[in-house]
């Protein structure tokens, strides 16, 4: 993390101020660690430190784009900003055959999800998240995206009981500005998604976790050498 912080270009001049939450830095770094341990990625080519460096730069750039579009003066990256860095992530590793079958982008998405889950579990180990999960189980949805303004994120999630308290456990200081609050809320939602407690579609709309569909029991076929009665009192066998 120290190397990435030193090498990544994240400072901005002018009216915009950049504040990167610690959990965002950890998730960015964890993506590289997950990649180095993933069997779908070629170990001979390796995963260099350039992966987290360029990823962090693109994460900040995406947050900067959102701040400018919503006329916010504070740039606070969110965990979901990592998905804007997918092209850079996929260009920093080589895939094994199993990875080629899955596809580079999907492998990168899996790495991000695993990284978020690892960092989230480390910060929220033993913390009760049932209140938030139950809100989604009762039909609640949050149509959020990486372009949603900080004020809108706070407004849409205000009715989710327990979510703000979980966000504060992520290291949110008292009286934090709206972009920082929105980033912490985003981290909690992505963490619950990474743990498969809630689900999210491609447009990053959060909803209840998908229930495993029970597969219908398929009628068993006759076993080998099982006899089948046919008219005429004769027997026929499967070969």
Mean pLDDT of 123-129: 93
At residue 143, does pLDDT exceed 50? yes
* 78 and 183 Cβ atoms separated by less than 8 Å: yes
What was the pLDDT predicted at 130?
Answer: 94
Give the integer Cα–Cα distance in Å for 107 and 90: 8
What was the pLDDT predicted at 128?
Answer: 94
Looking up tokens 């701040």 gives 67
What was the pLDDT predicted at 45?
Answer: 86
What was the pLDDT predicted at 214?
Answer: 39
The closest of 54, 27, 180, 39 to 113, measured between CA atoms, is 27
Token pair listed for 32: 């590289």
Which residues fall within 8 angstroms of residue 109, CB to CB, at 6 or more apart?
Answer: 83, 86
Token pair listed for 53: 């460096």
Query: Using one digit for the tens of pLDDT, what is the confidence trace for 109-118?
Result: 999 999 999 9
* 192 and 207 Cβ atoms separated by less than 8 Å: no
User: Model's pTM, two decimal places?
Assistant: 0.84
Mean pLDDT of 22-33: 96
What was the pLDDT predicted at 204?
Answer: 60
3-state class (DSSP) for residue 3: helix
**C-alpha distances out from residue 33 to 47, 78, 133, Å:** 9, 20, 29
Give residue limits of the domains in the chain: 2-208
């Amino acid at each position: 993390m120290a190397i990435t912080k030193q090498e990544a270009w994240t400072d901005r001049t002018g009216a915009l101020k950049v504040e990167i939450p610690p959990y965002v830095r950890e998730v960015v770094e964890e993506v590289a660690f997950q990649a180095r341990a993933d069997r779908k990625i070629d170990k001979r080519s390796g995963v260099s430190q350039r992966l987290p460096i360029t990823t962090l730069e693109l994460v900040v750039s995406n947050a900067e784009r959102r701040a400018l579009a919503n006329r916010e003066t504070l740039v606070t990256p969110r965990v979901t900003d990592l998905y804007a860095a997918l092209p850079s992530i996929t260009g920093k590793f080589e895939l094994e055959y199993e990875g080629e079958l899955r596809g580079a982008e999907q492998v990168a998405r899996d790495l991000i999800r695993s990284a978020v889950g690892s960092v989230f579990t480390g910060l929220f180990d033993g913390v009760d998240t049932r209140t938030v999960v139950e809100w989604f189980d009762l039909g609640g949805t949050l149509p959020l995206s990486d372009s949603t303004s900080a004020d809108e994120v706070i407004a849409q999630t205000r009715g989710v009981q327990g979510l703000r308290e979980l966000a504060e456990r992520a290291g949110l200081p008292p009286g934090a500005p709206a972009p920082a609050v929105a980033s912490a809320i985003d981290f909690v939602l992505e963490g619950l998604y990474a743990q498969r407690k809630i689900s999210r579609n491609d447009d990053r709309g959060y909803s209840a976790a998908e229930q495993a569909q029970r597969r219908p029991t398929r009628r068993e076929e006759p076993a080998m050498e099982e006899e089948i009665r046919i008219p005429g009192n004769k027997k026929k066998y499967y070969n």
